[in-house]
Amino acid sequence: MKHRLTFWWKRLLIRLRHQWQNGTLFFMLAAMALLPVWFEPHTQQDSTVQDTLFVIDISESMNVRDVDYPRPHSDRLGLAKATVREAMSVLPCGSRMSVGLFAGDETVVLFEPLEVCRHYPAIEQVVMRLESRMRWIGDSWVIRALVSAIKEADKRKMNLMMITDADEMPHHSAPRLTDLLEYKGKVKGLLVGVGGEAPQPVPRLGGALIDGRQQITGYWTPEEAVIEGNHPNLLAYVKELPPGEQAPPGMLDEVGEHLSVFNRALLQACAEAADFDTAHIHHPQEIIKPLLQNKFQGSALAERDARWIFGLAAALLVLAGWFRQKVKHIA
């Protein structure tokens, strides 16, 4: 038995030496080095990350079609969704992100933070399928919604990026920023404005989807804005009007809630009160520069794909085998 083992051991050594000489051993080792790749190995590394809560305004004014992306006369909500998708694509792997919606005075977070690269396809589908029918109220109180969003971001230790037209409903002549000032500096954030700066009628949507969009069935009128309770001094007069009849010219000049415009002044006032940055964008790629600032980035242990390590080892072994064959051929 001992002699038999010695015989087979010698044969194995001879074969290995032969494979070493002709380079075959290196190719075999390269194939073995690639085996772990099928199990998607990962490693933990100290990495630059940018954990961010994205909050999208889905109030009724976001249905106004006064932006030119992806085509002329597109709605503000579509630009907001595309902007979040663009922002996701440039966040460093290892970053956590979550998405929230706001309408009225409340921010609702759709899901808890997920690693952006691993979960990109699922998050992208969630974002791009958002629509205005998900809102639970048509009005929007931007300041109070921002306070709510800051609380949600602070709870999760994340930056905040809110996208809105900053058009409050009902309108206020002077914003009350007292509550927002209490949260100044709580989180790092960016307020992103969308929409045009010329007043546009707020559409009513309904019917079947065409090209992925609900169709406009009408527009809000000044009389309907009064009925909603925004101007109590005019409510009795408007209620006395026969159904479908409009008020005489000039009677409802103070009413503006049936029109919408990007409110730059309010956005900037909110940003100053919360110590946030601002940006007014017309195309999703315009978000990259204001978003990727050093002050929004941090350092944390993050998972990194380790398949490249085994791929590199296999490539080096193949190169060594090829070189060994060349040397033998020359000799």
Bridge partners (DSSP) of residue 300 are: 47
Tokens matching residue 223: 């009389």
The Cα 47–Cα 304 span in angstroms is: 9
Q: What is the pLDDT of residue 308?
A: 63
Q: What is the pLDDT of residue 133?
A: 85
The Cα 132–Cα 134 span in angstroms is: 5
Tokens matching residue 208: 């079947």
- Nearest Cα to Cα of residue 183 among 106, 265, 267, 271: 271
Instruction: Please provide the DSSP assignment of 277-316 as one string.
Output: EEEE-SSGGGGHHHHS-GGG-EEEEEEEE-HHHHHHHHHH
Bridge partners (DSSP) of residue 204 are: 218
3 vs 11, 13, 15, 16, 236, CA distance in Å? 12, 15, 18, 20, 112
What is the chain's Cα-based Rg?
30
Model confidence pLDDT, tens digit, residues 146-161: 999 999 999 999 999 9
What is the SS3 assignment for 75? coil
Cα dihedral 132, 138, 142, 146 sign: negative
Q: How many CB atoms lie within 10 A of CB 239?
A: 10
- Nearest Cα to Cα of residue 194 among 17, 102, 69, 298: 69
Bridge partners (DSSP) of residue 131 are: none
Query: Which residue numbers in the chain have pLDDT < 50?
Result: none
The Cα 255–Cα 170 span in angstroms is: 10
Q: DSSP secondary-structure letter at 2?
A: H
Q: What is the pLDDT of residue 301?
A: 61
Architecture of the domain made up of 47-217+257-302: 3-Layer(aba) Sandwich (3.40)
Q: What is the pLDDT of residue 224?
A: 80
Bridge partners (DSSP) of residue 140 are: 104, 169
Q: What is the pLDDT of residue 175?
A: 79
Domain residue ranges of the chain, discontinuous segments joined by +: 47-217+257-302, 221-255
The Cα 156–Cα 179 span in angstroms is: 20
- Residue owning tokens 């033998």: 328
Q: What is the pLDDT of residue 228?
A: 75
Contact between 105 and 144 under an 8 Å Cβ cutoff? The reply is yes
159 vs 25, 208, 295, 305, CA distance in Å? 52, 37, 10, 25
What is the SS3 assignment for 116? coil
The Cα 232–Cα 108 span in angstroms is: 30
- Nearest Cα to Cα of residue 144 among 41, 1, 274: 274
- Any residues with CB less than 8 A from the CB of 27 and at least 6 apart, and which? 317, 318, 321
pTM of the model: 0.79
Percent of the chain with pLDDT over 90: 49
